[in-house]
Structure 1
Amino acid sequence: MTTLDYRDRALHLERVALAAVAELFGTPCYVYSRAAIEAAYRAYDSAFGAAAHRVCYAVKANSNLAVLNVLARLGAGFDVVSGGELARVLRAGGKANQVVFSGVGKSTEELCQALAAGIACFNVESAAELERLNQVATELGLRAPVALRVNPDVDAGTHPYISTGLKENKFGIPADDALALYRCAASLPGLRVCGVACHIGAQMTDLAPLREAAGRIAALRLALLAENIAIDHVDLGGGLGIAYRDEVVPSAADYAAAISEPFAGSRVEISIEPGRSIVGPAGVLLTRVEYLKPGAGRNFAIIDAAMNDLLRPALYDAHHAVFPLRQAGGQTKVWELVGPVCESGDFLAHARSLALAEGDVLALRDAGAYGFAMSSNYNTRPRPPEVMVDGDKAYLIRARETLDDLWRGEEMLAN
């Protein structure tokens, strides 16, 4: 759903002029569209029709309480990877029995927290974790619902930093070891085997690897059923990628059909964990041009947002389209959009043709996922505010940090 467009030469998100948001809340500033978030979730939810399914939003993409609450109101489940994310989901109104807990390094404290909350399932990623979870659950007099996250060794064809389904990745249990470890899990008193999980990577725009991974999980499920190990759900990981540049992204309906095909005729519930595709296109990062620094080799536009605000370009060389808030025309030049952080890697966009003047405000598109969630206070820079627009209204959903926020909890030596 496109909620970002120009009206009377002014860039709007839904019916809110982004220039008004920049004036009211300052820059840098993250702004999200409620309508876009809701439409993206509903597209996944409706894609499965009447078939048993669960859409668990990947909280790591954007964990703002208002974003989580919008999704909780729609009946979403949640995929968490830390005790902090679980606490956020519950604080935002999410239901514990709709939460799956993934991640390779769950601590004993986090396992206890999740068991006490009554989550839907632990996606277990190693034999060592399985043993610890069994011990913790047994000591608490509980049985932990578990799925093994199986690494199907399928190449997702994405950036190596976000590939998770190959045997050289840290995630999951090798497919060759899965059956034996399931037998072990089924024998342990503190565990209740209930599912199979996999996740082969993020920013997927090709259905073939997803279809292949689903087929391998379907074959494992049948092998488990043959050994009387009951499986009530399969968790097939993240959702689709998004069109940062010119990627062709399948529809949610085509995605659901592709991953569901190997389970046709069964009553198994299919779970997915989309994050980026729900919130990524819903958000923009607003930033102001502080200085223009043309040069013989490159022209630099020094903006007030930096790598600490949006890490993706520096970390992944990621591309975010850039739009001026006002279509003013004028002579264009090719600019490097760089921030004030003292690092040569502090850039937000390379070689963009823009007509710029100092003081102009720009919007970086598709910044709703892994934007604020990965931000930091590097160079003692307060993190930006977050705003959500709903129709013609804009709401502050996180205040800009102050310097006092940054050093709260720090102490100087007495002498």
Structure 2
Amino acid sequence: MNSKQISLFFKKILPSSYQLKVSLTIVLSRTSYIILVFFTYYLILKQIPDDLTYGLEMSFVLVSAVSILIYLPLVERLTKSLRIRFLSEYLTEDAESFRQAIKQFNLDALIKHVFPDMVKITESHSGTIAILMPDGTFDFHTYFRGRQKKLSPTKQIIVKQHFKEYLKNKKEGSSVTDAINSPDINSDFMELHANFIYPFLFREKLFGFLAVSNIPNADATNTLSLLAGQSAVTIHNHILSYHIAENKKYRKEAEYANRVQDLLETGTIPELPGWKINAYPRTHGNLVEFFQVEDGSWYFVVLNAGRTYHHIGIILSYILGVVYSQSQLRILKGFADIKQLIHTTFQKLEWKDKYELIIGKIDFNELYLIQEGRQFKIIRESNDEEVLASVGWKNRIQLDRGAILVLHAGQPILRFSITDHKK
């Protein structure tokens, strides 16, 4: 037998460091219990008079009562404390402790308790854990000789795609010796200051990994596999819960946006003599507002913010609310004032996307329109090929030849027509 075979033989016979810690914990707690019981028995026996009948039996009963009611719970608490201190509470043989540990196995417990346990199991003096976040990045926490901290964003380690693929194929972990012929992977080991890395895999997806300074033995690797699998499930559940909560929040925001939009937008189509104005069901990307300016003329604005998210309604309603309030104060006088006010309000909101608008004035039997944006289209209802407005110009459109439609991306927004008696 060579030296390697002899080493493997002794490893099979001798207990692992984890098994040794389990045995020492049990021996220490039980020895303490026995010593405490005998010491109590000695003290009680010394206090009972020698001439008392059945003194030994009385001492035995008293010691039994004290041992069961007081000492046994204390020793169980001591055993539990020792196991948590020197072992992982997630791998103890105590069924109650194990159930409680699994019940509390969330992301916070993973970082604060399980991560240090995994480093201790490998008998490493330092370790780093990477945890996948809902946005696809990784959070890093370090553990060094009993001290734990989270890496700041400025010191974050970039987990490259080739490294992720490498770890997916190393389900039982990988040591630095495995990557010695791969310079890219070896540099990743060096960046993590690791000699061994164990991935957290669930459904063929990488949810994180543990990087430690020591290469663990077979027993420690088996222990890590149990904790790594549970860690992957925990991180997966955390990300899933996050997305569910975010969806609920966005649904709530959408409901609030619709309510605020309904409140802020007047939603009132003016009843003008000789005119018939119809508004089609609006989308969240478009809003319409009618108002009067200083000279009493009726204007309208159709606004599109360039996005279709639900909360855009709040922004559009705010802008059109500004326009409406200015009109009520008789500050606006015409096209130039309205256009400048909308432009200034978007700038104050630091709006980066392109927006489109139509500003219109309702006259005797015609409309004057300024259009910005090629998604808008003004056509004659009787002839949808007849485009009535040009972008960037002030357009004059007569309605005595038929009703007109204002479209955005092919969908109708407004319809203008004149009544028969106006003709």
TM-score by length of 2: 0.21
TM-score by length of 1: 0.21
Structure of higher CA gyration radius: 2
Bigger RCO of structures 1 and 2 (CA < 8 A, at least 6 apart): 1
